[in-house]
Structures are given as C-alpha cells and as structure tokens.
Amino acid sequence: MAVPAILSADQIDAALAGLPDWRYRLGGLVTVYKAPTSAAALELIAAVGRLAEEQGHHPDLDWRYNRVFLRYSSHDAGGQVTPRDVAAATAAGAAAAASGAAAEPGLFRTIEVGIDTEDPAAISEVWRVALGYRRASSGDLMDPYGRGPGVWFQETSTPNSNHIHLDVHRSQAESGAVQEKTAATGALMNRDHAPGWVVVTDVQGNRLCLCTEAGHGPETVQDQPPPD
C-alpha cells in the first residue's frame, strides 16, 4: 500500500478552515465532543467506530462520561496529517453534529516531559526501559499505545537546576486565556519564544512551557505505533 501524501502546514491550515471543530496538534488533528448524555457519547463512539471500519483508518479515542476525545494521525506516514485524516475528521464531525454533540476542542491538551541534559544517550535508555516506551527516530520516547506523555531530551551544556519540566500543548486559539490566568497566579512568564511557547516558572523555580502549534509545524517522521 502506498504511503499517503503528508500535508504541509499551509495545507493543514486550509483544511482546518473548513473544520472549525478541529485543531492541529503534534502530527495529528484533535478535538473533543461533548454529548448530551453518556449514552449519547457511546452512540457517537459507535458511529465513529463504524466510520473507522469503513475508511480503514482508526482514531485514538478516549471516553470520559459524556465527552469523547479524538485524534487522527496517519501512522504509516510517520505520524503526520494526510488527506485521509482530514476526510476522517470531516466524517466524525458530521456524526457528532447528527448526535447533538458540541465541539470543545480547547479541552484537548497534550503533555510532554522535557529533560535537560548534557548527554541524552547516557540517560535515555533508563527512561525508556522504566516506562516501557519505544524510541522514535528523533530520539524522543513514545508510549507505543499513546496513553502516557512523550519524553524528550533537551541537550544543553547548561542544564537548568531543575532538569525536568512539562510541555503543555494547547492550540493557539485557546492559549491566550490560559496564559493570562497562569500569569495571574504570580508565575514568571518568559515570552521570548511566543507564540510558539512561553516558559513559566513558579515561585520555587519549577518550570513548565505553555506550547502552541506555532512552535511545532508538521513533525519530522518518527517511529509510531503500527499502522491501521
């Protein structure tokens, strides 16, 4: 089977202009649908499942009472967005509308663990084995079942005294309000790399980064879970 064409950042933006329920996130299209009831959410899951079987393309799906979290990405294209993902998201959106579900894409957050180190090779195997992860071609560590956060190693000759930080990925459309609320807590906000990411430091020196797709276009091809 031929590998599908990978969409460029401009092509993804054009596709999303016609998919207001969806956002781009680290090589995938993501959204959350809130159904009227938990039973309605199950019906939506069943409808998405039927579509997946018809299309031969299956999403990552998570059910939380009356909310359904969806992510489409083409594993056989290295975990990138292809026309197949756009078609699947379009069909899932139509099924959601038919079920009376409302889109809440801002609820879809993606967490990564970043580790500052002078020598990633010296420590990455410890983390891979302990977590049961697989290594991507980039050197990042990935949960093979997509359940846990990714782990990446920030190589630097001047590691921060707190070597571990979290990267919290939201879409740029929803990031502004979160940044304002975070700043209101008294955290130090370093906006040197905004809107790609903002480095947040709490009063005890612990760091996290609030990230958006502006800092992460279509990704380098990485090892991913087996194709559909």
CATH (domain of 119) = 3.10.180.10
- Tell me the average pLDDT of the chain: 91
175-209 pLDDT, tens per residue? 999 999 999 999 999 999 999 999 999 999 999 99
118 and 211 both lie in a single domain: yes
Name the residue among 181, 177, 153 with its Cα closest to residue 167: 153
Q: Model confidence at 4, in pLDDT bands (50, 70, 90)?
A: confident
132-148 pLDDT, tens per residue? 999 987 889 999 998 99
Boundary-marking domain end, from 73, 107, 141? 107
Q: What is the mean pLDDT of residues 153-181?
A: 93
204 and 161 both lie in a single domain: yes
Contact 198, 209 (CB under 8 A): yes
**C-alpha to C-alpha distances, 50 to 32, 45, 55, 59, nearest whole angstrom:** 18, 9, 9, 12
The pTM for the full model equals 0.87
44 and 72 both lie in a single domain: yes
193: domain range?
110-215
